[in-house]
Amino acid sequence: MTTLHETIIPEKRVRRITVLISGSGSNLQAILNSCGTDKLPNAQVTHVISSRSNAYGLTRAKTHKPSIPTSVCALKTFQNRNPGSTREHYDLEIARQVVESKPDLVVLAGWMHILSDKFLEILNGEKPPPPAPALPPPQINSLPTKSDEIKLPSLDKLKISDKNENEQKKKDEVEVKEESSSSSTSESKLPEPPLHQSFPIPIINLHPALPGAFDGANAIGRAFDSFQKGEITNTGVMVHKVIAEVDRGQPLIVRDVEIKKEDKLEDLEARIHEVEHQIIVEGAKMVLEELEKETR
């Protein structure tokens, strides 16, 4: 029972995060593991959108507790099912799916498509999302395994038996279960969406390079080549806000990453991925804390 002198502090709403992926989803897993902990309190991933139907990140989302809704929208599939559609139409459909998921934050975690101005206009609240396409993406009936992401030249040529494939699937299933059980969340179910969507919806991206260096694709490989030529002594990783110019949004978190003389490309990739898993969570927390201050 409260008195006239007591102040009732409303419970903080659990913030909803929509994550866009294209691959294995290791950065998605880092976010999932951090939700509901001190690293990312009062937050939960509530939707995952993939540009590839065989992305293992879909399995991470579906087997998480609570299970996270997913959708797949591949560019070629979208265009085949909607004749005459362009790349801009595809971006509009991605924006529609994002807004429909009612997020407080959108995280690009290994999303392999450059998003156009049309996408940003919708998430900034400048234009309404389009209606759903006549033919939505097909439903995915089975969960991808890690081996699904590897394009094999020929199963007959490599003589991969059904037994080996089944063993690989079992290994993947065990790994997903272990990751799901290790993740922490204060919610046994997904948080309810807000009654009204707020705009603009903040979007952050993870890029494996320092600000202004190696924008775009294959940033790690290009940095490694530059190091071999003596042009740079180190590289880095950043989380930045998403704007129309590729990888040119305001940096939120920047980390230097050492390149060693004895490094192979795989060594540098592993070192960068380790940092990525840390700062993608830190960047999400930073933006959500800013949102919390704005709503007080």
Residue 122, domain CATH:
3.40.50.170
Question: How far apart, in Å, are the Cα atoms of 167 and each of 8, 58, 162, 173, 195?
Answer: 55, 20, 9, 10, 46
Compute the mean pLDDT over every residue in the chain, rounded to the nearest whole number: 85
For the cut 90, the answer to whether the pLDDT of residue 189 exceeds it is: no
Residue 282 φ/ψ, nearest 5 degrees: -60, -40
Residue pLDDT, tens place only, 171-181: 444 455 555 45
pLDDT for the residue numbered 136: 64
Q: CA dihedral in degrees (85, 87, 88, 89; nearest 10)?
A: 30
3-state secondary structure of 93: helix
Contact assessment for residue 49 and residue 95, using Cβ atoms and an 8 Å cutoff:
no
Measure the CA–CA gap between 4 and 249, rounded to whole angstroms. 48
Instruction: Please enumerate in sequence order all residues whose Cβ is within 8 A of that of 155, keeping only pairs 6 or more positions apart, or say none.
Output: none
Residue 280 inside a domain? The answer is: no
Catalytic residues: 207
pLDDT in tens, 60-71: 999 999 999 999
Please report which confidence band the pLDDT of residue 90 belongs to, taking 50, 70 and 90 as the band edges: very high
Q: State pLDDT tens for residues 18-31.
A: 999 999 999 999 99
In a domain, 44, yes or no: yes
Percent of the chain with pLDDT over 90: 73
Helix (H) and strand (E) counts for the chain? 9, 7
Q: Which of 124-138, 156-170, 259-273 has the lowest mean pLDDT?
A: 156-170
Domain interval for residue 102 = 13-141+177-201
Helix/strand/coil for 149: helix
Structural domain includes residue 130: yes
Residue 8 maps to a domain: no
Number of domains making up the chain: 1
Question: For residues 116 and 203, is the Cβ–Cβ distance under 8 A?
Answer: no
Does 66 reside within a domain? Answer: yes
User: Which pTM does this prediction carry?
Assistant: 0.83
Res. 153: pLDDT tops 60: no
The whole-number pLDDT of residue 196 equals: 86
Query: Residue 281 falls within a domain, yes or no?
Result: no
Task: List CB contacts of 87: < 8 A, sequence separation 6 or more.
Answer: 75, 116
50 within domain boundaries: yes
Rg (Cα) of the chain, in Å, rounded?
A: 21
> Is 195 inside a domain boundary?
yes
CA nearest 42: which of 68, 10, 15, 67? Answer: 15
Decide which of 141 and 100 is more confident. Answer: 100
